[in-house]
Amino acid sequence: MDDSISIISSANIQLTNSNILSIECWYYNITSPVNGGALISKYQNGTPINSSIALFSYSNNLIQIGGNGTQPFPTVPYISNQWNQIVLLYNIPNPGNVKVYLNGSYLNTLNIPLNPSPNNTPLKFGATDCPVNDPNCNFYSGSLDDIGIWNRALTECEIQDLYQAQLNSVSQSISAGADQSICAGDIVTLSGAGGSNYQWNNNVVDGQAFTPTQSNAYVVTAQDSLGCTGTDTVVVTVLENATSTLTETALDSYTLNGQTYTQSGTYTQTLTAANGCDSTITLNLTLNFTGIDELGTNAKKLVKITDLNGKTIPRRKNTLMLFIYEDGSVERVVEMEE
């Protein structure tokens, strides 16, 4: 299908041998036909005075780049059957020069003959301007996308950014690392990659450990191999440690999370919570013992129960136990099972 877009000529899209213009587009050639058509043009066949921009698909995976058509068009290579980006900087670095970038990288500088005066030929995408008696409009046989025109010279960083943006590559090669989750009080070290001169926000120093107090997004800014500035972000999520307090009264012994206690006191257990962080339990335990203090308020206060080796044990039936009282006295006790 022959199809194209035409823009009426204006002062903003003129190209002569003195003004600077940058043109960028993405193109997809399914095949490599001879004279495969015009990608972008401000060009009229056989009329040099009305021609200034010509970007043609040619055979053998080549792109022709022309000006007013008074000289043969030089060519640059590309890869068919995939999307390619081409950027042309007209009159850079000198009048008549065209710097060519392919897929974000500098390719060549060509000499293109340009006219000293502007023309009224429309700017067209996918074809050239067709004079009344010329049916050859050079319709392009592939696909075009993401066309841009600037009346200044794009920088290498801008060209690289345009290329990387279409590849969904964030901040070119600069990386802040993978997002991470930590527990409150843990130490984190953030290190940038893919560039140099890493600068972080939130007073972070590259490669230096610190302890985050809350969840936050940390942004690194650095320079890549081209000297272009890139950024990337890493999110550090700070998970809270859990704390709880239990106050319990029990008879003879008390078991919590598999741990059995046989004396009154304050105990601490540290477990792993569902979020992977510490869960600290404080137990305030009061134990009463069966058969103790049955003689009234003047009875001696039991401190602990041990076996004959002095090891603290819970109260047991049919076992010789040593009852140790607060006044230092010791009583040998055997409680028989009924």
Contact 51, 42 (CB under 8 A): yes
CA dist 126 and 5 (Å) reads 7
Output the pLDDT for position 245.
94
CA dist 221 and 210 (Å) reads 19
Contact 277, 241 (CB under 8 A): yes
CA dist 150 and 147 (Å) reads 10
Output the pLDDT for position 216.
97
The candidate with the shortest Cα–Cα distance to 210, out of 230, 232, 188, 190, is: 188
Output the pLDDT for position 272.
92
pTM of the model: 0.54
CA distance between the termini of the chain: 103
What backbone phi and psi angles, to 5 degrees, belong to 80?
-80, 170
SS3 153: coil
Output the pLDDT for position 167.
61
pLDDT in single tens digits along all 338 residues of the chain = 567 888 888 877 777 777 888 999 998 876 555 566 888 888 877 777 777 777 887 666 778 787 777 677 777 787 778 899 999 998 888 888 889 999 988 988 988 887 777 788 888 888 888 766 666 788 888 888 999 989 899 988 889 888 877 665 544 578 999 999 999 999 999 999 988 999 999 999 999 999 999 999 999 999 877 677 888 999 999 999 999 999 998 888 899 999 999 888 899 999 999 999 999 999 999 888 775 554 444 567 788 888 888 888 888 888 888 888 888 888 888 877 76
Output the pLDDT for position 19.
82
Give the chain's domains with CATH numbers.
5-166 (2.60.120.200), 180-239 (no CATH), 242-334 (no CATH)
Contact 223, 259 (CB under 8 A): no
Q: What is the DSSP string of 237-284?
A: EEEPPEEEEEEEEEES-EEETTEEE-S-EEEEEEEE-TTSSEEEEEEE
The candidate with the shortest Cα–Cα distance to 301, out of 268, 323, 277, is: 323
Output the pLDDT for position 1.
54
